[in-house]
């Protein structure tokens, strides 16, 4: 929860300093390449060292970033570049932690429980995404940035309790020291796994063209109104969608044709992205009256509609994630799991940042409503093409998993 609180707060603070949506997009842009590099390297580490130790070190560095953000805010350092630096370090450690956690789960659960485990992870993630952003929006509006970062640093400590109670988790099978040979081994394995590659590709499509979250600070200030509280509501609505789709995922996770399920879930995600853009476009006409950056000046019907679109995005993306994670965790052997999970983490964490750059940059030269409308429609078309071309992915059967 603390990590989500920080992510939203950094975006709000950068916008408060610069008043630029593109500057907010750069928070993700600067972190993209380091996340890719360290996400892959984290996979090499996890296929050689004890995964519990790797997770503990990455969490420690991430917590240090939270402490540094709090100190800067208390000292009232109102310049953006330290926020960018700490956002990059935090993104790198988050990428490492995510890779490690994903690689650990199949060691703790039997194969038949992996879909349920993925759904449970969605519940945990949904709770964190619901409370964290909502708390960020409220705390920034009421108490300011310094107290918000301080609370994040305190909340982060609870995460260490779960890590230290894990057993030792050294990788099984033949291990290779981190380096070129280990990297090449992972790449050679991925070349023989077309279904895994396709699962990465369709997620990249969704994240590249469907990340309107970077627009939320400007939407809260200029389009719907409500300022930081609107940002918190929209992000939290997406998390509620994740949570609800996980709570009611029992019947869904029993569906054996995972490739088809992934394709449909991402197409629905694209429809909700385009719907959110349509809400922004309707408000941009000015027909529904002026708005202000405090919640009393927000257009509540538009906020509700945008929140529903955000909830739909969260739910459909979570369904896709459950099936993609189950596909990977059940088909990939343990000695390769860290490296393949590293690529997966790069996709699921780096993809959104690439998408935020695309959305923020395109909004800067067009409007706030056009990028999500065009991006959502692009997702629907590209996913339809991918399912048409990749017949093996469309025929993937969870009862007989193949790479």
Residue 400 lies in a domain: no
- In angstroms, the CA 72 to CA 77 distance is 6
Residues 6+ apart with CB under 8 A from 113: none
Residue 375's domain spans which residues?
2-394
Residue 138's alpha-carbon distances to 20, 145, 295, in angstroms, are: 21, 11, 11
**Tally of domains in the chain:** 1
Residue 11 lies in a domain: yes
pLDDT on residue 1: 66
Residue 399 lies in a domain: no
Residues 6+ apart with CB under 8 A from 107: 51, 169, 334
Residue 248 lies in a domain: yes
pLDDT on residue 127: 64
Residue 273 lies in a domain: yes
Tell me: the pLDDT tens digits for 288-335? Answer: 766 777 777 788 889 999 999 999 999 999 899 888 888 887 778 777
Residue 401 lies in a domain: no
pLDDT on residue 122: 62
CATH assignment of the domain containing 383: 1.20.1250.20
pLDDT on residue 69: 93
Q: Which two tokens stand for residue 10?
A: 């950094």
Residue 102 lies in a domain: yes
Element (H, E) at 96: helix 81-108
- In angstroms, the CA 146 to CA 225 distance is 24
160-171: b or e for each residue (b if 16 or more CB lie within 10 Å)? eeebeebeebeb
pLDDT on residue 154: 85
DSSP result, 232-292 = HHHHHHHHHHHHHHHHT-TTTTT-S-HHHHHHHHHHHHHHHHHHHHHHHHHHHTSTT----
- In angstroms, the CA 243 to CA 239 distance is 6
pLDDT on residue 123: 66
Residue 402 lies in a domain: no
pLDDT beneath 70, residues of the chain:
1-4, 121-131, 133, 174, 253, 289-290, 349, 401, 403
pLDDT on residue 50: 85
């Amino acid at each position: 929860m603390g990590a989500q609180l920080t992510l939203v707060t950094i975006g709000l603070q950068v916008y408060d300093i610069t008043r630029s949506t593109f500057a907010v997009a750069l928070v993700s842009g600067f972190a993209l390449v380091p996340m890719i590099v360290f996400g892959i390297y984290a996979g090499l580490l996890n296929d050689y060292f004890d995964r519990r130790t790797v997770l503990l070190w990455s969490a420690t560095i991430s917590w240090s970033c939270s402490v540094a953000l709090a100190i800067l805010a208390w000292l009232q350092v109102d310049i953006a570049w330290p926020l960018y630096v700490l956002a990059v370090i935090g993104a790198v450690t988050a990428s490492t932690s995510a890779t490690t956690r994903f690689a650990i789960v199949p060691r703790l659960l039997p194969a038949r429980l992996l879909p349920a485990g993925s759904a449970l992870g969605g519940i945990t993630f949904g709770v964190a995404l619901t409370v964290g952003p909502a708390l960020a929006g409220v705390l920034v509006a009421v108490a300011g940035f310094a107290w918000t970062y301080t609370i994040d640093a305190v909340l982060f400590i609870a995460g260490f309790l779960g890590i230290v109670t894990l057993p030792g988790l050294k990788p099984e099978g033949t291990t290779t020291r981190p380096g070129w040979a280990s990297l090449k081994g992972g790449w050679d394995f991925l070349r023989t796994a077309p279904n895994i590659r396709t699962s990465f590709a369709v997620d990249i499509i969704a994240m590249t063209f469907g990340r309107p979250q970077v627009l939320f600070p400007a939407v809260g200030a200029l389009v719907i109104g409500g300022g930081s509280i609107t940002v918190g509501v929209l992000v939290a609505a997406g998390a509620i969608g994740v949570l609800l789709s996980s709570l009611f995922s029992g019947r869904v996770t029993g569906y054996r044709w995972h490739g088809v399920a992934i394709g449909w879930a991402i197409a629905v995600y694209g429809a909700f992205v385009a719907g959110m853009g349509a809400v922004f476009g309707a408000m941009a006409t000015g027909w529904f009256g002026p708005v202000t950056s405090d919640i009393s000046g927000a257009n509540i019907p538009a906020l509700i509609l945008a929140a529903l679109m955000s909830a739909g995005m969260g739910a459909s993306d979570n369904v896709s994630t459950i099936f993609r994670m189950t596909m990977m965790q059940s088909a990939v052997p343990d000695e390769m799991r860290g490296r393949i999970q590293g690529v997966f983490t790069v996709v699921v964490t780096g993809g959104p940042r690439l998408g935020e750059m695309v959305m923020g940059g395109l909004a800067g030269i067009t409007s706030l409503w056009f990028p999500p409308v065009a991006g959502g429609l692009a997702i629907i078309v590209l996913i339809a093409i991918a399912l048409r071309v990749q017949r093996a992915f469309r025929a993937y059967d969870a009862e007989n998993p193949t790479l």
